[in-house]
Structure 1
């Protein structure tokens, strides 16, 4: 899906075509971490021991297609890292897949751990800073069967996994994100409640309800597929993990309770304690899914409540972290009735939310008012078929990041999402975020886009 407005936005890039102009645009220092990000399940392929793999293969699956071999990054990571380096980028954020490391509870796979250490070593050999995420949405299937992210025992399980992995990373990795988008479960809970209330009062056909819910799913920054047989999918998913009640299923990307939210924070604190104990030189933090929240007259209270839920109530758990990973793709607007579409929106992305690149700078500035550690943009990007639109987005987003640095904010890095076109969770392979296209029909051939080189040109 490419909107006509994306084509219009692409024309803004005409003034950046010459190499001379691109060199003048370099806006980040040599030491600034300028890179791209991936998540293991979305790029590696054949993650057969994870909760996602099971859900992708159900009769009534919410996934538009299974991940399969994904984009074969597991076998092709060297090629991908070299493309990143050759474009001028100096950092790569990627995740370690817990389900590979501990496929059965208490049983660890040293060979799989070795694979990730080889990735770290290859990055270092190329002069690329590896930034490692320990948990990026997907979990071992056994963890979900025993209660998942609503079970207090998950904290100890995560701590055990981190304690196993950490010694191999010590002395090699300088930055670790414990948990990706630690607030995602609460965001999904709020989304589902809002959707259910809307649907109960709406005289719509099932098709119209599904379309309305899919549009509303753009409120969360993850690939959610809303379909008319959601109840059948929920029942199948619950049964696959041994539950009769779908509400008992607690994957990381399912609606979470207040108690479940606290379990995620406890898991982060436990992981941080292990890292500080075994490798105190490593800078540790987590990442949060954040929006640029804007209020029209009458919407101020809604925006403030949303910010408290999305960010402020996590401060007691992260205030002693070394850095915060800020992940922002767009804005959300509010008026006296609550969340509304932006009145001046021009174009939208494949994901359904507004193309609004300067949101990231606004979020960094607001976060810095309360969080006083370093800031890293661990994800920011756009899903679009038009790479000229992607370049405009990167230009405007990084311009807003550079402005924050000029104001004295401690922003240490920017990671575009994503290095590769990949498996966008329940939305499958149709969402194209990548700086590199992958031909999955012809041997997973890589085709770097112009946006990759453009991003690399922004570092001096």
Structure 2
């Protein structure tokens, strides 16, 4: 029996996830915008107008609602809300508050991410999360957002994938990419004349632990600020979680990866209301390291074998390590072939329901992403959207996968 023949809980959240910098465009007061434009830069191209989402946000909320979804995840851009230190933009706060109201009006729970990688340019000039005052500055921003419209949001995600840099250190990226990351930070530091210009998603290895310390303290401070405004609001963070599995009897490499990449964050999440899991792939490990896909096995744009059951595996691991409910804050596939994405959705949800029926509490599933967008260092070269976007006109066009996901959700929500 597949997930299509079974039922998820009636209060299960069905949604899509998006992010400000990747969709909005012209996020010119942010650290990432600045880093995209220095020379050299690790970013393959500038974000520019992205999907023009800051202007077309009503259309995007309508697209999500048109799929029959019950939740919509988006991020509030700190760089827009606090474009210079201590100066707040009422226009930006009103803008994001309007998105929350529109979600509610269309029957979707607003899932709000307070930081999706990007931060203000001025914050990066203060060395970002290496600054001892960073946690308090982030908490101040979270408090301002909560004051403006926190009474109407449904779920709060403090920060997105604070473990990503450490996770990427386990991938077989070309050495020139590591060099470009360092060169990007050096160029941004030189261009601004500060001691150290630092981003939250471009790091050098020797600073990863210290930056993680700052982020961990930032999450704790943000959670306290959010709860001070609304004690009942579910608060958590999201983690990038690969389904790391063992081939053979030697689990030493897999376990070392888990200790380096996930452990501190999963321990931190034990005090949260949920853990956000963001899963895209499964990677097998033997005693020597990662085992590459066999020749001829279909792979995604990251080079990993396409494995729908990775979602259930990642969710089970996160819950076992934290003891708190899971919210799938992202899941999808990087591929230019939408037939692969369309075929991937139902078996992934089937595997998710398997682990739920085995006792893992899961609050909802948010597909990444509503539309093809700016995928950070990869620019516009990777496609993960349920809709494609014309790079000139910004017209959004649904892909077959959008229909597959909508039909699945409709069957779950209405039984039809």
Counterpart secondary structure, 2:315: helix
Q: How many residues align?
A: 407
For residues 345 and 322 of structure 1, the distance between their equivalents in structure 2, rounded to whole angstroms, comes to 42
| Unaligned stretches of 5+ residues in structure 1 | 1-20, 196-211, 215-224
Counterpart secondary structure, 1:80: helix
Pair 1:407 & 2:387 matched: no
* CA 1:232–1:179: 2 relative to 1, 3 Å: closer
Pair 1:373 & 2:353 matched: no
Q: Which residue of 2 aligns with 1:51?
A: 31
The CA deviation at 1:98 is 0.3
The CA deviation at 1:62 is 1.8
The CA deviation at 1:151 is 1.6
Farther-moved stretch of structure 1 (389-398 vs 342-351): 342-351
Match of 2:198 among 240, 244, 250: 250
For residues 187 and 229 of structure 1, the distance between their equivalents in structure 2, rounded to whole angstroms, comes to 18
Q: Which residue of 2 aligns with 1:285?
A: 236
* CA 1:430–1:27: 2 relative to 1, 3 Å: farther
Measured against aligned partners, the alpha-carbon deviations of 1:121-140 in whole angstroms (never above 9, x if no partner) come to 00000001110000000110
Matches within 5 A, 1:64-103: 64-103=44-83
For residues 232 and 102 of structure 1, the distance between their equivalents in structure 2, rounded to whole angstroms, comes to 27
The CA deviation at 1:282 is 0.7
Q: Which segments of structure 1 move beyond 6 Å, counting only runs of 4 or more?
A: none
Pair 1:138 & 2:125 matched: no
Q: Which residue of 1 aligns with 2:292?
A: 341
Check conservation: 1:360, 1:400, Cα contact below 8 A. Answer: yes
Pair 1:390 & 2:338 matched: no
The CA deviation at 1:27 is 4.3
Match of 1:236 among 182, 187, 190: 187
Considering Cα pairs closer than 8 Å and 6+ residues apart, tell me whether 1 or 2 has the greater RCO.
1
RMSD: 2.3
The CA deviation at 1:23 is 11
Measured against aligned partners, the alpha-carbon deviations of 1:419-444 in whole angstroms (never above 9, x if no partner) come to 11000011111211000111122x21
| Unaligned stretches of 5+ residues in structure 2 | none
Counterpart secondary structure, 2:157: strand
* CA 1:230–1:282: 2 relative to 1, 3 Å: closer
Counterpart secondary structure, 1:94: strand
* CA 1:241–1:22: 2 relative to 1, 3 Å: farther
For residues 24 and 227 of structure 1, the distance between their equivalents in structure 2, rounded to whole angstroms, comes to 43
* CA 1:164–1:229: 2 relative to 1, 3 Å: closer
Please give the TM-score of this superposition, normalised by the length of structure 1. 0.83
Pair 1:431 & 2:392 matched: no
* CA 1:259–1:341: 2 relative to 1, 3 Å: same
Match of 1:213 among 150, 168, 174: 174
Check conservation: 1:377, 1:415, Cα contact below 8 A. Answer: yes
Q: Which residue of 2 aligns with 1:6?
A: none
